[in-house]
Structure 1
Amino acid sequence: MHPSSTLPSKGLIRQPALCQWLDVTRSGLAKLKAKDSTFPKPIKDGDARQAAAYYVVAEVEAWLQAKIAARDKAQADSSEGATQ
């Protein structure tokens, strides 16, 4: 994953750019969304199935921060249990 400084300054990011930012394929993103119900929902540009999907950059960043915080908490909890 790239640092947030490389994110576009606009509020929305298209699905292909999101895949590139998260370093996943389209199918990898689909699996991530299916596995993790907390992943931000896209905003579709129309009703057609092929309509472009956009994601709110701030929501994706918040999701990433929550994942990082959960990881750090799990690591801290496991290291505390090992020292007791």
Structure 2
Amino acid sequence: MNLEALPLDNQLITQQNLCRSLDMTRSGIAKLRLNDPTFPRPIKFSDSKQATCYFSVAEVQEWIESKLAERGTA
């Protein structure tokens, strides 16, 4: 299966790559998750605390778009 052929709404990004994309630290992402209930929730494929966290690319893009829209109306 070619993952690049998946529609954007099915693509996932690791927390590490999300941090790079948003130019934030892991603790910055954690603070966002605590303080902004609209920030996308992570997806884990294991119950282990060490399991890699993934985020939906489409949900992150929607969140960014909503923040840009809020900024435009403020």
Q: TM-score, normalised by structure 1?
A: 0.75
Select the structure of larger CA radius of gyration: 1
Q: Tell me which stretches of 4 or more aligned residues in structure 1 moved more than 6 Å.
A: none
State the shift of 1:45 in Å. 1.9
Whole-angstrom CA distance in 2 between matches of 1:29 and 1:54: 12
Whole-angstrom CA distance in 2 between matches of 1:62 and 1:34: 18
Q: TM-score, normalised by structure 2?
A: 0.85
SS of the residue corresponding to residue 43 of structure 1 reads: coil
Q: How many residues align?
A: 66
- Unpaired runs of 5+ residues, structure 1, are 1-8, 75-84
Aligned-residue Cα RMSD (Å) equals: 1.2
Structure number with greater CO (CA < 8 Å, separation at least 6) is: 2
Identity of aligned residues (%): 52
- Unpaired runs of 5+ residues, structure 2, are 1-7
